[in-house]
Amino acid sequence: MVQLIYLTTLLPLLGFLFNGLFGSKIKNEKIIGIIGSSTIGISFLIVVGAFFQTLSMPVDQRQTIVNLFTWIKVGNLDVNVSYQVDQLSLLMGLIVTGVGFIIHVYSIGYMHGDKGFGRFFAYLNLFIFAMMNLVLGSNFLLLFLGWEGVGLCSYLLIGFWYDRKFEKSTTSDAAKKAFIVNRIGDFGFLLGIFLIYLTFGSLNFNDVFARAASLNIPQYVFNFIALFLFIGAMGKSAQIPLYIWLPDAMAGPTPVSALIHAATMVTAGVYMVARCSIIYASAPAIMEFVAIIGALTAIFAASIALVQNDIKKVLAYSTVSQLGYMFLALGVGAFSAALFHVMTHAFFKALLFLGAGSVIHGMHDEQNIQNYGGLKKYMPKTYVTFLIASLAIAGIPPLSGFFSKDEILWSSYADGNIIYWLIGVVTALLTAFYMFRLVSLTFDGKERFGHDKHPHESPAVMTIPLIILAVLAAVGGFIGIPEIFSGEHGNQFDNWLEPIFQPAQAKIAMFGVHSSLEEIVLMVVTLVGVIGSIYAARYIYIKNIKPAEKLSKRFNGVYNLLLNKYYVDEIYDASVVTPIVKGSEIVLWKFADIKIIDGLINGVANLIEKISGSIRKIQTGVAQFYALIMMLGIVAALFWIILSL
Amino acid sequence: MINNYLITFLLAVPLAGALLLLLINKDKENLVRYFGLFVSTLAFIISIIIYAGYDSAKGGFQLVEKQMWISNLHISYNVGVDGISLLLVLLTTFLTPLTLLSSWKSINKKVKEFTFFMLLLELGMLGVFVSLDLFLFYIFWEAMLIPMYFIIGIWGGPRRIYASIKFFLFTMFGSLLMLVAIVWLAVYASGTLGHFTTNLVELYSIAPTIPYGIQLWMFLAFALSFAIKVPIFPLHTWLPDAHVEAPTAGSVILAGVLLKMGTYGLLRFCLPLFPQAAIHFAPYISTLAIIGIIYGALVAMVQKDMKKLVAYSSVAHLGFVVLGIFAMTQESVQGAVIQMVNHGLSTGALFLLVGVIYDRMHTRLISDYGGIAKIVPVFATFFMIASLSSIGLPGLNGFVGEFLILLGTFKSPVLDSWWFAGFATSGVIFAAVYLLWLYQRVFFGEVKNPKVNELKDMNKREIFILSAIFVFIIWIGIYPSTFLKISETSTKKVIEQVFSPVNTGSK
């Protein structure tokens, strides 16, 4: 099965080609949907097979390189299309194909009747193709191919309904913004790749990481590499200051938000940093920077989510915030905890988005939660699964989010910096609050929608995926039960990834001795706060709507600041976008290019014309004739020069 | 030994084709078209045979044919190919039939003359790439201007006369200095070798002995001529005018092949003949190239005319090629060579696509479009792929070239600073900006101009032309080895010529 791993990229590629070329001709949604989903389903089975095969291998041999062909070979540069099957890539592969398959199936129901049905499935398959290359690639260049590929699919899918309006602008504005902001990150990523090649003479993971651990390389080189790569991660994984594209990415169909902008693609940055753990471990200053950015992003985005009224916007900012959590974990050296959260987040956030999709579907494309209310009796399955996901993200035991979030909080505390822990806890409280504000306004309380809306539960093809994800979101955390509870077996999840992060962990030598009592105390403190937060949200938004209004009136300035997302988009527009566009048009093009450069040349030409005015009489006015004379003149001059030598 | 005459045969085909064409009655327009297509396809087949006969592992000039021409001056008819010129020959013979095919309907006045000039143009371009004698090279270099001049001047847009004269004068100006330099070189050779010569291989052998001070002047004389053709910033202002006024076929050839003659010249003559000067000027020219990358992209971004946008994007793309050449590493020069081909394919495709829509709407103003993705889905898909290729998306051709160029620039011994590569890499952002913005304004959103509702999607002929190009766009993106191998030994040789011990020691 391990050797067949290339099928997990090949099958989605074939699915893309089939639905891309023939999708618009086949009018049958079933055929398109079944082909589109089955390529991913089979891929998932292959990854599962490869997982169990790898599990049966001795711990020190759990890495297989499957080499396909030479991609770019020039001089010393030798890059292959080859896949690296190991603990980390298998974990990511399972998430991508597993959650991916569920979302493909859901999409059959969600996209029913859409004119672009075939195109949608083609793009989704192309996405899985790129994402699998991203996580399986055994070198930085193949990782980058996947990286750009998922960016393209994200672009195509955000702008899927390219003729629609989206908020103040259009879906295609949102799509373009996503691509370009990501390109800014890619610029950093590319610089990182060049520097890696310059430093280590290779782009293969195995070579680079082995040399990073053994060679004596100046500190500043590690710092630069780690920083450049992290700039790439900031773009793809929506961290400050490059997070601005992700909330707008909600212009895409909801399954896309679930798959690409919550569960998989946006975690690519986390994967990449974790993959390069040894490089980061060698650059402590940048690790600190990663932690700071992560922590700031987590609390900043959570604060915006508090007041948003679009159901998908709340979830989008929540995603940004949770990604911040993951980077906080990476920054404090808890690589495994970051990936654990990647996994549990994939379950509960995909579920939240699909649940939101189900609500939007049932409410005829209404997305404003102020116009919902009391929906739980109309869509009970959606409600229950959404509630499970909300409890999971809030961190209520024993649901999956509790374990992963707790591990991150504990790691940041153990790292010795109490501020990180504090920011983490405050973010957790905010998260619980905005999630239950969302749940309460949507499913509880009075119905606030008009009579023209007839809310209904979604078909089975949509609710069954919800139920599967709900089970995963509920029990998925059990594979990562912390050592203090699980005893001698330790944390199974950490054990599985241990060989990958061992070199980095050895370098950081983190986790001073803390009593397990401390861990339990912190856990209880956080939990009490979270439960209080949930009750506060339910009290305010179900029992009595007034305190919310009072609060927002009292703190009008803060409320508006949050509602308008700190005006970051406006600031970027005024300080970056407009000056570049206007400057290019007025200064570069109309002034420098036309007036100065071209003007100078035309000026010279005019001068010559004036001088030659006296001999103008022999001119015939036929331009072609001039050209001929000129040619003859040159040839004559040439011969004259040669012969007179 | 047919091999010895293959290249002459290649040159003879478009020449004979052009002459035979004169015998055809000009009213039989379709016959003229089919004949032109047949001749240019034949040239393509011959170039494939040349490719098959070329031993890329061995490198060097092969399939060489040499006939004394002006014997007391040692000027010879001397032709042959190495890996670098072979790729450009293939590009030329590949694009020419496609451009003729693309003009099938859009050129409907003076079809015979048009085909005649296109074949002469092909002859001139091929001659430039296969000449191994500077005198012969110069003749082809100049001769090629004439058909291009007519193609813009007769079949061009409203300001065609202005554009064609500007094009002509710009390039002519540069060439004259090159001519002086060629003559000087030949005279210098007579002092060293005992006889006057313009033979390139002989000149290569004496290049290291040229005094440094003189190299500088010679380099500048050659480089100016090539820099105008490329064009390198700030010598680029002829290009947007020429492109906007040229008919589609002219634009495709202009961007696809003609500009490459400039970068080819830099690589073939400036580097190996004046190595020390090349090293001396490398940081300056690279700086201009990087300005071109960013400046070209920013100016492209704010264009209102699609064709002008693509034209300015060429300034940016060719900036990458020039940077690759002057970074002088194996990676960067290989990247530059493959990027010459890439630019020919992706910008060629973009011009063809702009031509497709222009044929239907007779406007190239971006603001006249909007929302046409729904109306012409096939066209939209093709345009997207061509844009992505131009943006440099991994998996398509553009990425391979850009990546190698930037990687090589990073480790360049002559550009001993990360700033060069750092600034150049920022080009990846801007390329995405101008192309995606163009795409958005033309294809997405709501239909604003009711006329576009009647747009017809691409026909079979157009689909065939673009598909042929896309085969290579994807091929080079996924398996570039096929093409990188062709030029590998040859680019290595150029770098060796620049850095050979004699050179570094004699300064």
Q: What tens digit of pLDDT does each residue of B211-254 get?
A: 888 889 999 999 999 999 889 988 888 888 888 888 999 999 99
Residue A452, burial from CB neighbour count under 10 angstroms (0-12, 13-18, 19+):
exposed
The confidence score (pLDDT) of residue B1 equals: 52
- B143 contacts on A by Cβ (under 8 Å): 631
Give the span between the Cα atoms of A351 and A343, in whole angstroms: 12
- Tell me the helix, strand and coil percentages in chain B, rounded to 5: 75, 5, 20
Query: Which site among A72, A119, A612 would you substitute to test the B interface, given the most B Cβ atoms closer than 10 Å to its Cβ?
Result: A72
Q: What is the 3-state secondary structure (H, E, C) of A503-528?
A: HHHHHHCCCCCCCHHHHHHHHHHHHH
Rounded CA gap, A184 and B430, in Å?
9
- Residue B265 near residue B200 (C-beta atoms within 8 A): no
| Residue closest to B313 by CA, chosen among B288, B350, B283 | B350
pLDDT above 60 for A618: no
- Secondary structure (3-state) at A71: strand
A290 — pLDDT class (breaks 50, 70, 90): very high
The nearest alpha carbon in chain B to A152 belongs to: B393
Q: Which residues contact A196 (CB under 8 A, 6 or more apart)?
A: A140, A203, A208, A225
Q: Is A77's CB within 8 Å of B301's CB?
A: no
Contact residues on chain B for A630, CB-CB shorter than 8 A: 172
Give the residue among B388, B440, B380, B309 at the shortest CA–CA distance from A174. B440
Residues B294, B238: contact at Cβ < 8 Å?
A: no
CA distance A253 to chain B (A): 16
Q: pLDDT, tens digit, for every residue of A199-238?
A: 999 999 999 999 988 888 888 999 999 999 999 999 999 9
The token pair at A300 is 């900043």
Kindly report the nearest CA distance between residue B240 and chain A, in angstroms: 11
What is the Cα–Cα distance from A440 to A362, expressed in whole angstroms? 17
Residue range B317-348, pLDDT digits in tens: 999 999 999 999 999 999 999 999 999 999 99
Phi, psi of A162, rounded to the nearest 5 degrees:
-75, -5
The verdict on a CB contact (< 8 Å) between B298 and A588 is yes
Question: Is A170 within 8 Å of B443 when comparing Cβ atoms?
Answer: no
At A453, give phi and psi (nearest 5°). -90, 135
| Greater model confidence, A551 or A405 | A405
What angle (nearest 5°) sits at the alpha carbon of residue A582, between those of residues A581 and A586? 125
List alpha helices for B194-269, DSSP H: 200-206, 212-229, 238-245, 248-253, 259-265
B20-56: string of b/e by CB count within 10 Å (b at 16+)? ebeebeeeebeebbebbbebbbbbbebbeebeeebeb
Name which of A360, A543, A549, A386 is nearest A449 in CA terms: A360
Which residues from A are below 8 Å from B399, CB to CB?
148
Residue A212 and residue A215: Cα distance in Å, rounded?
6
Decide if B422 and A191 are in contact by the 8 Å CB cutoff: yes
Average pLDDT of the residues of chain B: 90
Pick from A272-276, A573-577, B153-157 the range whose average pLDDT is largest: A272-276
Name the residue of chain B whose CA is nearest to A179's CA.
Answer: B432
Closest partner residue to A601 (CB to CB) among B142, B237, B404 is B237
- Tell me how far apart the terminal alpha carbons of chain B are, to the nearest angstrom: 44
The residue of chain B with its CA nearest to that of A195 is B410
Identify whether the C-beta of residue A333 lies closer than 8 Å to the C-beta of residue A281: yes
Highest mean pLDDT out of A371-375, B405-409, B497-501: B405-409
How far is A198 from chain B, CA to nearest CA, in Å? 7
B169 and A605 within 8 Å at the Cβ level: the answer is yes
**C-beta of residue A421 within 8 angstroms of C-beta of residue A413:** yes
Helix (H) or strand (E) holding A77: strand A77-85
Please state, rounded to an integer, the average pLDDT across all residues of chain A: 87
> What is the number of CB-based contacts under 8 A between chain A and chain B?
152
Of the residues A6, A9, A22, A74, the best mutation for testing chain B's interface (the one with the most B CB atoms within 10 Å of its CB) is: A74
pLDDT at residue A565, rounded to an integer: 78
Q: Among A620, A641, A359, A410, which Cα is nearest to A512's?
A: A410
Is A173's CB within 8 Å of B440's CB? yes
User: Average pLDDT, stretch B92-100?
Assistant: 95
CA-based end-to-end distance of chain A: 77
**Distance, CA of B88 to CA of B107 (rounded, Å):** 26
- pLDDT computed for residue A612 by the predictor: 67
Cβ distance of B410 and A195 shorter than 8 Å: yes
Are B244 and B307 a contacting pair, CB within 8 Å?
yes
Q: Which pLDDT belongs to residue A556?
A: 78
**Torsion sign over Cα B26, B30, B33, B37:** negative
Distance CA B110, CA A486 (A): 86
pLDDT, one tens digit per residue, over B108-125 is 888 888 999 999 999 999
- Residue A170 to residue B445, Cβ atoms within 8 A: yes
Q: How far is CA B304 from CA A177, A585, B349, B351, B389, in A?
A: 20, 10, 20, 15, 22
Residue of chain B minimizing CA distance to A587: B299
Q: Max alpha carbon distance in chain A (Å)?
A: 106
Cβ atoms of residues A126 and A38 within 8 Å: no
Nearest CA in chain A to B235: A597
Confidence of residue A581 (pLDDT cuts 50, 70, 90): confident
Distance from the Cα of B176 to chain A's closest Cα (Å) equals 8
**Which chain A residues contact residue B172 at CB under 8 A?**
630
- Among B169, B237, B410, the residue with its CB nearest the CB of A198 is B410
* pLDDT tier at A84, thresholds 50, 70, 90: very high
pLDDT of residue B505: 43
Please name the member of A162, A183, A642 whose beta carbon is closest to the beta carbon of B428.
Answer: A183
pLDDT at A644: 55
Tell me the nearest-neighbour CA distance from A147 into chain B, angstroms: 9
Contact A173 B428 (CB under 8 A): no
pLDDT class for A27, splitting at 50, 70, 90?
confident
**Torsion angle of the four alpha carbons A44, A48, A53, A54, in this order, in degrees rounded to the nearest 10:** 90
- 3-class DSSP string for A475-495: HHHHHHCCHHHHHHHCCHHHH
Q: How confident is the model at residue B146 (pLDDT cuts 50, 70, 90)?
A: confident
Of A104-113, A304-313, B169-178, the one with minimum mean pLDDT is B169-178
Residue B425 to residue A593, Cβ atoms within 8 A: no
Hey, are the CB atoms on A75 and B183 less than 8 Å from each other? no
For residue B281, what pLDDT is reported? 94
What is the complex's ipTM, to 2 decimals? 0.89
User: Is residue A628 over pLDDT 70?
Assistant: no
Residues in chain B closer than 8 A to A184 (CB atoms): 429
* Residue with more model confidence, A371 or B351: B351
What pLDDT is attached to residue B507? 39
Alpha-helical runs (H) found in B144-159: 145-155
- For residue B277, what are the contacts with CB-CB under 8 A and spacing of at least 6? B212, B215, B216, B218, B219, B220, B270
Which tens digits make up the pLDDT trace of B382-427?
A: 999 999 999 999 999 999 999 999 999 998 888 878 888 889 998 8
Could B410 and A148 be called an inter-chain contact, meaning their C-beta atoms sit closer than 8 Å? no
Q: Do residues B43 and B14 touch, judged by C-beta distance below 8 A?
A: yes
Distance (Å) from the alpha carbon of A58 to chain B's nearest alpha carbon: 35
Which of these, B96, B250, B100, lies nearest to B167 by C-alpha position? Answer: B250
* pLDDT value, residue A641: 60
pLDDT value for B506: 43
Compare CB distances from A74 to B295, B334, B445 and report the shortest one's residue.
Answer: B334
A245 contact residues in B (CB cutoff 8 A): none
Beta-carbon contacts of B121 under 8 Å, excluding residues fewer than 6 positions away, are: B96, B144, B147, B148, B151, B253
How confident is the model over A553-573, as pLDDT tens digits? 777 777 788 777 777 778 777
Q: Is there a contact between A187 and B429 if contact means CB atoms under 8 Å apart?
A: yes
Both tokens of B232, joined, read 């390198």
Distant-in-sequence, close-in-space partners of B302: CB < 8 Å, separation ≥ 6 = A581, A584, A585, A588, A589
Residue with the larger pLDDT of the pair B131 and B501:
B131
pLDDT of residue A515: 59
pTM of model > 0.80: yes
CB contact under 8 A, B394 and A71: no
Chain B residue with minimum CA distance to A581:
B302
Cβ of B395 within 8 Å of Cβ of A145? The answer is: yes
Q: What percent of chain A has pLDDT over 90?
A: 48
**Out of B150, B169, B429, closest to residue A184 by CB:** B429
Of A180, A588, A631, the CB nearest to B436: A180
Q: From CA B427, how far away is CA B319, in angstroms rounded?
A: 10
